[in-house]
Structures are given as C-alpha cells and as structure tokens.
Amino acid sequence: MRLDGIGLRHGRRGPWLLRDVQLELLPGQLIRAQGRNGCGKSTLLRVVAGAARPGRGQVLGRPARTAYVPERFPPALPFPALEYLRLMGRVHGLPAAEAERRGTRLLSRLGAEGHADRPLARLSKGTCQKVAVAQALLADPALLVLDEAWTGLDTDARTALDEEVEERADRGTTVVFVDHDPSRLGLRTDLRWALGDGTVAVTSQEAATPVRIDCTGVADGPEALSALPGVRAVTVLADATVRLETDEAHSDALLRALLALPGTHVRRVSGGLR
C-alpha cells in the first residue's frame, strides 16, 4: 500500500497539515506515528484508514479488509455489545455464528465478557473502548489502524491488545498506531513516522541508535559473545570492557543471556531509541 503525494488541509485557508506525503506500508509492518499535539497524527491515520479523503494525492492499494479504531468511538449505537459485534462481523462478510464466536472471544480477551448483553449506550467509557477494539480485531484485517486505542483500557486489556496486535503483525497484518506511551510496542515497532510541519520523516528500527551493553569478566573471550542472540557487533574497549551492540528487539534476551554466563558482569547499558 502506498500514500502518493498526499496533501490535506481543513478548510480552504487552513494550514496544510500534510503536504506531498509519500509513504509505503508493507505487510506485517508495525508503524508508529508520532509528533506533537495537533501536528496531524489522527488526520494522517484517517487518511490511511480511508476515513478522510485527502485534498491532493491518492492512497493506492488499501486492503479491502481495513479496520480502524478512531480516537473517539461514535456515540452510542442502539445495540447490545455482542449484537453490535455480530453485525460488524456480518458487514465484514463473516457468517453470523462465526462473528458471534469471535466477538465473544474478543470481549472475554479484553475482560468485557460480563457486558456482552448490555446496550452500548449504558457501557462505561473504558468498556465501550473495548468494544471499539473488538470490532477492529474481529475480521482479521490486513490493515489495522489504531488511534490511541489503548487509552481508557485497564492494564490487562492494554496488555491483551499489545499481544493481539503483535500476533496479527506476525501473521502479516500492517498496523499503524498512535499512542501517548512512547514505549508502546517499542520492541516490535518496525517504522516510526515523525510528523511535523506537514511532512513525515520515516525511521526504521534498524536505523535507530543501537543498544550498547558493556560487560566485564567474559571468561570465553569476546568472540564467544558474537553468537549470543541479536549481537550486531563486539568491541573491546581500552579498559578491556567488552561492548556489545544490539537493537531494542533483542536487548532483553541478550541481557538475560549475559547474566546467565558465569563471571560476566554487566556494567552499563546505553543507547536505544529513547
């Protein structure tokens, strides 16, 4: 999927929130959009999801199975939660029984199983957000757009959503998200879209600052460490400290492996995205 020369402003005289934006989205990519308040993150996500039409340019190759959790879930619809999910599943082409099965599973996964029969209008804000998330995950979307979908969820539901998103990305779903927690899905995020002044700067996880782990007491010598998980480079510093470079996706596993080596002492961890 590609955004080709996207330009968008609100009103005829409004500032251009997006100008000549070119972006490529590949299957399985997890993409975080970031930038200061009001820079146009939600606007860009709406364009990606097909909920806003750009004034200039075009979106090419958006999958038919696109799902979107907007920043604000539309005001109460006249359905009980599970009934709404069943109807949304039908809209996405699922048989009624399958839609109900998936809706039930997702409500339970998000800790809202006790609210299945309650009308949306009578749900708390957080439970309503769970229904908004469930409708987006229902039909195995090929593109999943999440605008602060974690906001308002309790801790368990936030973790469940993290896991659902990672599982789907592993199976090929492209995910674009905005979230105010800078560490959200940090280990798994492939690309960052940094918005500012109408432009979008793209950085990939690989291009990010490496995580450096300095250690001493390496019994088998520095060469043995290059076989540990995610090691990109091994350098011996002037004071004989061994410096390993890795990325954020591997730094936890590498630290665990180092700590399990007899005699090895981790002296310092530095670098990374944040």
Residue closer to ligand ATP, measured from CB, 5 or 196: 196
Q: Given the complex with ligand ATP, which of 194 and 253 has the nearer CB atom? A: 194
| Closest of 202, 182, 201, 195 to residue 248, by C-alpha | 182
Residue with smaller CB distance to ligand ATP, 17 or 133: 17
Comparing CB distances to ligand ATP, the nearer of 12 and 274 is 12
Residues in contact with ligand ATP by CB under 6 A are 10, 17, 35, 37-43
The residue (of 17 and 142) whose beta carbon lies closer to ligand ATP is: 17
- Structure-block tokens of residue 17: 């929130």
Distance in Å, CB of 41 to ligand ATP, minimum: 4
CB of residue 242 to ligand ATP, shortest distance in Å = 42
Residue 232 to residues 207, 224, 226, 240, 243, Cα–Cα distance (Å): 13, 13, 8, 19, 11
Q: How far is the CB of 6 from ligand ATP (least distance, A)?
A: 13
CA trace torsion 120, 33, 163, 76 (10° rounding)? 0
Distances (CA, A) of 86 to 10, 104, 106, 146, 253: 35, 9, 12, 21, 41
Of 168, 211, 171, the closest CA to residue 187 belongs to 211
